[in-house]
Structure 1
Amino acid sequence: MTPSFHLLPGDPGSPVLLHVPHSSRDVPPDVRDGIVLGDEELARELDHITDAHTAALADTAARAAAVTPWRFVNLLSRLVVDPERFPDEREEMRAVGMGAVYTRTTHRAVLRPDDLDERPLLEGYFTPYAHAMTAAVDDRLAAAGRAVIIDVHSYPTEALPYELHGTGPRPPICLGTDPFHTPPALLDAAREAFAPFGGIGTDSPFAGTYVPLAHYGRDPRVTALMIEIRRDVYMAEPGGPAGPGLDALGVALAALVGEAAAAHG
């Protein structure tokens, strides 16, 4: 089975874990066989659904940071499984066919049959990813006494039909928060780091942040923040090349990483 994630080590004492879940376009052949789209349709869908260049952004930030963060990078497209969804009926995105295993596209076309047996994909990809991410957080807790998850995403300038909350503000930078896991100091540090990009919003058009279920709502030593970057800030949409904004964003993310490593937990 195709490896689905990569943990890139940082400074042994760093509490910071950059999580990059949606940057890849890779769909293994066995998974591709279950997708009903033609090749051109699939390529267009990957243009829309992929958080393009976010792995490169995290790499730039890691190289620029005073204390190198750890990075957990999804090597496969979210069309395989989406590791940030709940794998059960708690997931509100199931209403539009985009739970842990997607059955609909961003434009609500059929991606997989409705009678799909999700278990092979969940057992083969979702569960190992969740276990590995949990272990990565546990490792940071053991090494540093705390863990700071910074979730790196992007979103399109114009809302796509699948979005459940697409009518709200779409600022250049959206910060996703959690009432238990996002301390004010971490949020303030992000606002300061990304201030050069103009408008900074909170929880619109996307809200929340990723914390493994083993820690979620239970362990205050695990803090988290989601960074959502509007794609016109750094790339040609949809699915096009990165522009000069990517390097500037890397510098801003490195500044946030530095503050998170130094003072916020």
Structure 2
Amino acid sequence: MPTEAYNLVMPEKLSSCAVFASPHSGRDYPAAFLDRSVLNYKTIRSSEDAFVDQLFDSAPRHGAPFLTAAMPRAYLDLNRNADELDPALIQGARRQGHNPRVASGLGVIPRVVANGRVIYNGKITMDEARLRIDNYWRPYHACLKSLLSEAHQKFGQAILIDCHSMPHEAVAISGTGQSKRPEIVLGDRFGASASGAIVDQIESAFASAGLNVARNTPFAGAYVTQTYGRPGRHQHAIQVEIDRSLYMDEERIEPNQNFHAFRTLMDLVISEIASIGSEPARLAAE
């Protein structure tokens, strides 16, 4: 059911306890927003998880919902708390202790895009910030919460796959200590947002597809995993970061020649993840 805030594709039959969601692949850039920005269109897209929505769009065919944001991350960051307001950008916002994300310009209404490039010349009003949060942030998170609740109710557990991409340079200089550079980074907040057994199975799904996987370095998860990961309540949240160079030309923000092959590979991974835990829970429920 498409809305202005998000797009949700449900499977014909809900057969998986997994919920796939992509909060940063939105690319509906409002004309008024682009007009106010000092950046060109390509630069403002540098924070976008471009094409991640296409990489994971087979999830409903494997019995799992797929939720994607409509609005871009440069406009509103759904992987931040609604109260992470940046006083350097938003008129009337108060500083609430030291928040490194806000301080660096990456609050819920970002002040910068990748590499610290400033989006605006000046500030925006508090009313405008609240309007973005009310119109886009709250509906997205209300939908996500509902999907996880439905999965938990039906299967006895819920597994949120928080889908992202990362610049190739992020893993090139990450210093993970691995002999091979990670192509996938799974973030479970060092075990706080998901059980080790669940993360093991997700890692196995990617590793079986021939991908090199690391955990929590350089990305351990942010607001989404912190908020929705409750392993003690059988609700798990795992952030998945994919090296963009595997499927896109980062400079041009275009699919590369490997895109279709990698998308096919991802379908196999998604199928395996969607099967985690669902069958035994469903039989127990019946």
The TM-score normalised by the length of structure 1 is 0.83
Q: Which residue of 1 aligns with 2:170?
A: 159
Instruction: Pick from 185, 193, 197 the counterpart of residue 185 of structure 1.
Output: 197
**What are the residue-to-residue correspondences of 1:7-22 with 2, within 5 Å?**
7-10=8-11, 11-22=13-24
Question: How far apart are 1:61 and its partner, in Å?
Answer: 4.1
Q: Is the Cα–Cα contact under 8 Å of residues 60 and 251 in structure 1 kept in the other structure?
A: no
Q: Which residue of 2 aligns with 1:45?
A: 44
Query: 1:240 aligned to 2:254?
Result: yes
Q: Is the Cα–Cα contact under 8 Å of residues 15 and 148 in structure 1 kept in the other structure?
A: yes
Q: Which residue of 2 aligns with 1:25?
A: 27
> Alignment length, in residue pairs?
250
CA 1:114–1:134 in structure 2 vs 1: closer, same or farther (change >3 Å)? farther
Q: Is the Cα–Cα contact under 8 Å of residues 133 and 212 in structure 1 kept in the other structure?
A: no
Distance 1:106 1:99 in 2: 13
Question: How far apart are 1:18 and its partner, in Å?
Answer: 0.3
Q: Is the Cα–Cα contact under 8 Å of residues 60 and 247 in structure 1 kept in the other structure?
A: no
Structure 1 alignment gaps of length 5 or more: 161-165
Q: Deviations over 1:181-204 (max 9, x none)?
A: 311111111121111334210012
Question: How far apart are 1:260 and its partner, in Å?
Answer: 4.4
Q: Deviations over 1:112-161 (max 9, x none)?
A: 2553232222222222222222222222233333221011111111139x
Identity of aligned residues (%): 24
Question: How far apart are 1:111 and its partner, in Å?
Answer: 0.5
Q: Which residue of 2 aligns with 1:258?
A: 275
Distance 2:101 2:210 in 1: 30
Question: How far apart are 1:235 and its partner, in Å?
Answer: 2.2
Write the letter of the residue equivalent to 1:69: A
Q: Which residue of 2 aligns with 1:72?
A: 67
Question: How far apart are 1:257 and its partner, in Å?
Answer: 1.6
The TM-score normalised by the length of structure 2 is 0.77
Q: Is the Cα–Cα contact under 8 Å of residues 62 and 254 in structure 1 kept in the other structure?
A: no
Look at both structures and tell me which one has the larger radius of gyration over its CA atoms: 2
Q: Which residue of 2 aligns with 1:60?
A: 58
Distance 2:163 2:47 in 1: 14
More helix by share: 2
Structure 2 alignment gaps of length 5 or more: 85-95, 282-286
Question: How far apart are 1:245 and its partner, in Å?
Answer: 1.7
Question: How far apart are 1:59 and its partner, in Å?
Answer: 1.3
Q: Which residue of 2 aligns with 1:86?
A: 81
RMSD of aligned C-alpha atoms? 2.6
Question: How far apart are 1:28 and its partner, in Å?
Answer: 1.9
Q: Is the Cα–Cα contact under 8 Å of residues 92 and 99 in structure 1 kept in the other structure?
A: no
SS state at 2:57 partner: helix
Question: How far apart are 1:212 and its partner, in Å?
Answer: 7.8
Instruction: Pick from 122, 133, 137 the counterpart of residue 148 of structure 2.
Output: 137
